[in-house]
Homo-oligomer: A and B are copies of this chain.
Amino acid sequence: MEFKQKKSIYLQIADWVCDKVLAGELAEGDKAPSVRDVAAELEVNVNTVARTFEYLQQHGIVVVRRGLGNFVADGAREAIGNMRRETFFNEQLPELFNAAKALGIGIKEIEEAYRLAQDDARYMPK
């Protein structure tokens, strides 16, 4: 796994875990891989992964059972969806619209970029 610079690694790992949940690789109630296993797999510091699970726990996506490990919480899928939707509509989108406005970019150009992105995705999937 490659990490981007802009975002904290621990948050990128959180995204990675959430993606697994959404994809069904981790079902609700499943035991999540241990902090140490994730750290080994992704070649990051154990503390970093610990912070990831602390974050996931605070957002109701995992629950800790002491001595047993982290488990995907009931309602995790929904919690993830809500969290992301909220971020999307309340943070990402407003920021983008502000930037667009300042640059004199209108909805037309955004639509066009969207269509181009769609085409790219269609012909060069992955």
Give the number of times this chain occurs in the complex, counting copies: 4
Question: Please, which residues of chain B bring their CB within 8 A of the CB of A1?
Answer: none
Question: Please, which residues of chain B bring their CB within 8 A of the CB of A105?
Answer: 85, 88
Question: Please, which residues of chain B bring their CB within 8 A of the CB of A110?
Answer: 93, 110, 114
Candidates B9, B66, B103; contact of A88 at CB < 8 Å: B103
Q: A83-104 vs B: 1/0 string, CB under 8 Å?
A: 0110111001111110111110
Count chain A residues whose beta carbon lies closer than 8 angstroms to a beta carbon of B.
35
Interface flag for A117 (CB, 8 Å): yes
Q: Is the CB of B85 within 8 A of A97?
A: no
Given contacts A66-B9, A88-B105, A105-B88, contact A97 B114 (CB under 8 A): yes
- Residues of A contacting B: mostly: helix
Given contacts A66-B9, A96-B96, A110-B110, contact A103 B85 (CB under 8 A): yes
Please give me the residue from chain B that is nearest to A100 by CB atom. Answer: B88
CA distance A73 to B21 in the complex (A): 36
Question: Please, which residues of chain B bring their CB within 8 A of the CB of A113?
Answer: 89, 93, 97
Question: Please, which residues of chain B bring their CB within 8 A of the CB of A107?
Answer: 111, 114-115
